[in-house]
C-alpha cells in the first residue's frame, strides 16, 4: 500500500477521522491559548489548568534520577517545587532511602492536581497557588526545583520567576525543560508551551541573578548561587 493510500485509508476510517479532527482542533486551541495568555487573569489560567487536569491527568516528564543524585550529593533538607502537578517527582524522590529531605513543598497553579496528591508522605506539602508565585508566595529553601514548567510561562512571567528566585536566595536551582539552545516560537505546537527563550538565554539570565551553571544532563540544568553576591 502506497503512502497516499495509507493516509487516505486512515483519514476515511470512521473511528479515526473524529480523532484527527480533534487533534487539529487541539493544535488550533493551543495556538489560541498562546495568543490569549497575556490577556487572561490568574483565575482564567487556573480554570484552564483545572480543565487540563480533566483532559490530560497524566503528566510525568521529569528525570527523577537527576534530582535524587542532586539531593544525595548536596544533602539538602528543604525543597521548594513549582509546577509539580500531583507530586510525582516528590513521591519518587521521597521514596528513596537515606535522604536528608525534611520538607518538600509543591506549589502549582492547578488546584485539581494539588488536591490529588501522589503521596501521603508527611514531608510532602502541596499548595495550590492563589496568585502568581512571583507575587510573593514562594518561601525560602535549600533547593528550588521546576521540571517541565518554565516552558509554560511567557517571557515576562519567566522574568517574574527569576526575581522570585533571586529574592528567596535558593542556594541551588534545578530546572528541567525541553528548550532548544536558541529558543523557539511554539506556534503550532500541541501543548501549552509559551516561553520563547532557549537555554543560552536562560543561562545568561540566571547569571545576571548571580547563579552559575554547575550541572547539565540532557534537559536538566542545575545552578548554584554565587555566595559572594557578585
Question: Can residue 175 be called a binding residue for ligand SAM (CB under 6 A)?
Answer: no
Smallest Cα–Cα separation from 143: which of 182, 99, 180? Answer: 99
Question: Can residue 84 be called a binding residue for ligand SAM (CB under 6 A)?
Answer: yes
98: burial class by Cβ within 10 Å (0-12, 13-18, 19+)?
exposed
Using CB under 6 A as the binding rule, the residues of this chain from 45 to 74 that contact ligand SAM are: 49, 59-62
Count of positions on this chain that bind ligand SAM (CB under 6 A): 20
Question: Can residue 109 be called a binding residue for ligand SAM (CB under 6 A)?
Answer: yes
Question: Can residue 152 be called a binding residue for ligand SAM (CB under 6 A)?
Answer: yes
Question: Can residue 206 be called a binding residue for ligand SAM (CB under 6 A)?
Answer: no
Smallest Cα–Cα separation from 192: which of 92, 89, 44, 86? Answer: 44
The site map against ligand SAM for 122-141 (x = CB under 6 A) is -------x---x--------
Angle, to 10 degrees, between the axis of helix 3-12 and the axis of helix 17-36? 90
Asked whether the beta carbons of 99 and 127 are under 8 A apart, the reply is: no
Collapsed DSSP state (helix, strand, coil) of residue 78: strand
Q: Where are the beta strands (DSSP E) in 121-210?
A: 124-128, 143-147, 172-176
Q: Which among 32-40, 64-72, 103-111, 207-215 is the span making contact with ligand SAM, rule CB under 6 A?
A: 103-111
Using CB under 6 A as the binding rule, the residues of this chain from 181 to 200 that contact ligand SAM are: none
Question: Can residue 160 be called a binding residue for ligand SAM (CB under 6 A)?
Answer: no
Question: Can residue 30 be called a binding residue for ligand SAM (CB under 6 A)?
Answer: no
Q: Which is nearer to ligand SAM, 118 or 142 (CB)?
A: 118
Smallest Cα–Cα separation from 42: which of 119, 117, 123, 134? Answer: 134
Angle, to 10 degrees, between the axis of helix 155-168 and the axis of helix 199-208? 40
Question: Can residue 147 be called a binding residue for ligand SAM (CB under 6 A)?
Answer: yes
209: burial class by Cβ within 10 Å (0-12, 13-18, 19+)?
middle
Residue selected from 149, 172, 195, 203 as contacting ligand SAM according to rule CB under 6 A: 149
Residue selected from 34, 66, 83, 101 as contacting ligand SAM according to rule CB under 6 A: 83
Which residues of the shown chain bind ligand SAM in the complex (CB under 6 A)?
49, 59-62, 82-85, 108-110, 113, 129, 133, 147-149, 152-153
Amino acid at each position: 500500500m502506497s503512502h497516499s493510500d495509507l493516509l487516505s485509508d486512515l483519514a476515511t476510517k470512521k473511528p479515526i477521522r473524529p480523532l484527527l479532527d480533534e487533534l487539529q482542533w487541539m493544535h488550533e486551541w493551543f495556538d489560541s491559548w498562546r495568543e490569549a495568555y497575556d490577556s487572561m487573569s490568574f483565575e482564567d489560567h487556573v480554570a484552564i489548568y483545572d480543565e487540563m487536569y480533566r483532559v490530560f491527568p497524566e503528566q510525568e516528564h521529569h528525570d527523577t534520577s537527576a534530582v535524587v543524585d542532586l539531593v544525595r550529593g548536596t544533602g539538602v533538607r528543604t525543597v521548594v517545587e513549582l509546577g509539580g502537578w500531583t507530586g510525582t517527582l516528590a513521591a519518587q524522590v521521597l521514596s528513596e532511602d537515606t535522604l536528608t529531605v525534611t520538607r518538600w513543598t509543591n506549589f502549582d497553579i492547578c488546584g485539581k492536581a494539588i488536591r490529588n496528591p501522589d503521596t501521603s508522605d508527611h514531608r510532602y506539602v502541596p499548595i495550590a497557588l492563589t496568585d502568581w508565585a512571583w507575587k510573593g508566595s514562594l518561601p525560602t529553601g535549600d533547593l528550588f526545583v521546576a521540571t517541565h514548567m518554565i516552558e509554560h510561562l511567557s517571557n515576562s512571567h519567566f522574568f517574574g520567576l527569576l526575581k522570585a528566585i533571586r529574592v528567596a536566595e535558593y542556594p541551588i536551582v534545578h530546572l528541567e525543560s525541553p528548550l532548544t539552545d536558541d529558543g523557539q516560537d511554539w506556534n503550532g505546537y500541541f501543548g501549552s508551551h509559551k516561553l520563547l527563550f532557549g537555554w543560552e538565554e536562560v543561562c545568561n539570565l540566571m547569571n545576571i541573578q548571580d547563579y552559575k551553571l554547575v550541572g547539565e544532563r540532557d534537559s536538566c540544568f542545575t545552578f548554584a548561587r554565587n555566595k559572594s553576591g557578585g
